[in-house]
Amino acid sequence: MLTQEEDVQIRQQFDDLLNNCVRCNQPEDKAFIIKAFQIAHDAHKEMRRRSGEPYIIHPLAVATIVNHEIGLGAKSIICALLHDVVEDTDFTLEQVEQHFGTKTATIVDGLTKIGEVFDNNSTLQAENFRKMLLTLSDDIRVILIKLADRLHNMRTLGSLSPEKRKKISSETIYLYAPLAHRMGLYSIKTELEDLSFKHLYPNEFEEIVKRVNADERKRVLFINKFSLPIIDKVSDQNINYEITGRPKSYYSIWNKMQTKNISFDEIYDLFAIRIVFDNDPTIPEKTTCWNIYSIVTDIYMPRPDRLRDWVSTPKANGYEALHLTVMGPEGKWVEVQIRSRRMDEIAERGLAAHWKYKGNNPQETELDKWLRRIREMLSDPTSNAIEFLDDFKLNLFSSEIVVFTPKGDVKILPRESTVLDFAYEIHTHIGNKSIGAKVNYKLVPLNYKLSSGDQVEIITSDKSRITREWLDFVITAKAKNIIKNALKAETKNRTEKGKVLLEEKLKELGLHPNSRIFRKLIPSYEVATKDELYSKVGSGLINLDDLKKILKKNTRSKLIRYWELTFGITSETEEDKNDPTKNYDKNSPFLLRESSDADESTSYVIAKCCNPIPGDDVIGYKAINESIIIHKSKCPNAVRLVAGQSERVIPTKWSTHKVLSFLVKLSLRGIDHFGIFNEITTVITKEFKINMRTLNLSTHDGIFEGLVEVYVHNSNDLNKMIANLLRIKGVEFVNRVESSEE
């Protein structure tokens, strides 16, 4: 039972909440809030918190934070008041729905589930986090109320055991503070960090508090000295403003000392001067920002590398301001933040202020974009949950990087973005044709990871082609989607191109494609379908030089064989009895003598599609003309043959002679520098004593690419040589060209 004193205190707090409910616009809003309070009060009446306080103090405080500090309206206040009843009391979700409707019940349910997920310490953080985010798709208020809940718990952490305090504080700094930051709730983020810091490292915390307080008087004097000349000039311009100096948060001071490994005294930006102006509606905010910038820099010398213009390009969490660092009195660098009143409110209160100002501004803000992206990702049924989480975490925990185009335009990308992500961010066409970039005037490959402040100039070439490996190093969803779609389209294109090519060739011969012609072509070119034939023609894997010959040939007997193989139609003929495949002993593998004329009884042909060399795993395929075609085992054609015509597939091994050389084609790509060609040829010809047939490298804008044809004995030698080529500085890619495709 409550004491009378407690009862009075609770009543007072509730009246305070009710009377200051700024966004209770509907007449019934207050009635519902009173009802929610009564239900919560009643449901929790026997309960007390660890501190001994009546439990209702907690939901009441959360509702107050939700209203006053985050700025949410009546529905959120109701949900905050009810946020623990379903979990901790006999009051059910159905009852919430009866009294307050479906929406409120959904939010309360979301809050209950988040609670379960977070308070169960046996599950993985990441998984919890995913679940928490999934509730985002229902209503973002779930997250905001949960943040208020956590804030109040952090404020009242004192009565828990030190272990419990540490656990909750770690969780807060790992998950909730970044989340608050992402939502643009700057003051809540700062408070969560400082409170966590206090409980995690009590001694360090006390030390920094002491140092900051000791400097207080000095700081005030310095701020006055710094501000005075600015105050005069700004007042002359008829700008209504406020100038304050406030110290950095304790946590950010400590964090800076840790990450930069510096002492308290070495932190030059212990505080920032903030100039907040009331916007004159006839003048754009941006103009006034730069106007004040100009006044400040007339007085103090700016540091050019520290200018941050988040007015032209707001941060993804909606933050807008102009930051600059100037040389102040006593030779001290001072950070100055210039903001309009609106920007200031958004900076401090994030989302809520954002909604307040959105009415005047129909344009989509950065925060809207972010929320939209999350919703899109969540609603995409094809997106993989893990992939989604990775992508989200990337976007959440590491703030984005800001990079520049050659003209100085700003692009915001998630951290870890590569040159290729940037290229696609600029334009699909630029991405498709990119081959490398100059980052701060230095040449880098496409997979180079960008950092904030980089200036990036993409180098394109009409020869550049999208490859599957690009997917390994792009991280933005935009780039990934474009590449995936392009790869799909490319396959389709190849088929279409092949179709046109074949039709043209046939036309030259005075023929039209018809089923009779395909019945000849399909077995002759050893493809399974018409589409495969088109695709191979389109990519150059099949050249049609011998088309006329094939069509002229009497292929009747071969055709019969083909139909037999394909459909199992058998016709016992004299020829079949002599078919070597039937008599072939499958237990002893066919030995390749590394020369097609070494064994006179059977000749073999190296397949053009995969070009195997000694050492590669291979299979033999008994072709219609009796010769054995050697494919690499992993060649897609070989796989198809094994699956479909296994009776013609012959186990095959290389004999160990190491006499002959095989021609292998390598494609090379990298960053050009003086002497690199020489290094490449040295590795090939001197170190490996390998015979080079052709070397065809070309450079453009500092990136070289090209083909080398070399004679090697076996795949072992080849692999060693590739490894050594990759060791050359500047060489980025060395690939064995498996097919005759150019």
HSE (side-chain half, CA atoms, 13 Å) at 4: 0
Q: Three-state secondary structure along 702-716?
A: CEEEEEEEEEECCHH
Beta carbons of 693 and 710 less than 8 angstroms apart: yes
At position 344, the amino acid (one-letter code) is D
Phi (first) and psi of residue 119, to 5 degrees: -85, -5
Using DSSP, state whether 34 is helix, strand or coil.
helix
Beta carbons of 422 and 411 less than 8 angstroms apart: yes
Closest-CB residue for Mn ion?
A: 149
Q: How far is the CB of 111 from Mn ion (least distance, A)?
A: 8
Query: Is 216 a catalytic site residue?
Result: no
Residue ranges of the alpha helices (H) in 436-476? none
**Annotated catalytic residue within 6, 7, 46, 87:** 87
Q: How far is the CB of 45 from Mn ion (least distance, A)?
A: 16
Binding site for Mn ion (CB under 5 A): 84, 149
Phi (first) and psi of residue 274, to 5 degrees: -115, 130
Residue ranges of the alpha helices (H) in 325-365? 341-349, 351-358
Beta carbons of 313 and 177 less than 8 angstroms apart: no
Q: How far is the CB of 123 from Mn ion (least distance, A)?
A: 19
Q: How far is the CB of 354 from Mn ion (least distance, A)?
A: 25
Q: How far is the CB of 122 from Mn ion (least distance, A)?
A: 20
For 322, 396, 439, 440, the CA distances from 452, given in Å and listed in that order, are 17, 16, 11, 11
Query: For 445-468, b where at least 16 C-beta lie within 10 A, e where not — what string?
Result: bbbbbbeeebbbbbbbeeebebee
Residue 115 or 730: the one with the smaller Cβ distance to Mn ion is: 115
**Annotated catalytic residue within 6, 88, 138, 204:** 88
Phi (first) and psi of residue 709, to 5 degrees: -110, 125
Q: How far is the CB of 119 from Mn ion (least distance, A)?
A: 10
Residue 84 or 193: the one with the smaller Cβ distance to Mn ion is: 84
Query: Is 88 a catalytic site residue?
Result: yes
How deeply is 108 buried, as exposed, middle or buried, from its count of CB atoms within 10 A (0-12, 13-18, 19+)?
buried
Residue 149 or 672: the one with the smaller Cβ distance to Mn ion is: 149
Residue 55 or 197: the one with the smaller Cβ distance to Mn ion is: 55
All residues at 6 or more sequence positions from 410 whose CB lies less than 8 Å from its CB, including other chains: 309, 312, 313, 402, 403, 404
Would you state the structure tokens that stand for residue 302, as one six-digit string? 């700016």
Q: How far is the CB of 731 from Mn ion (least distance, A)?
A: 59
Residue 121 or 261: the one with the smaller Cβ distance to Mn ion is: 121
CA-CA distance, 423 to 440, in Å (whole number)? 15
CA-CA distance, 170 to 116, in Å (whole number)? 18
Residue 149 or 732: the one with the smaller Cβ distance to Mn ion is: 149
Residue 58 or 411: the one with the smaller Cβ distance to Mn ion is: 58
Query: What are the residue numbers of the active site?
Result: 87-88
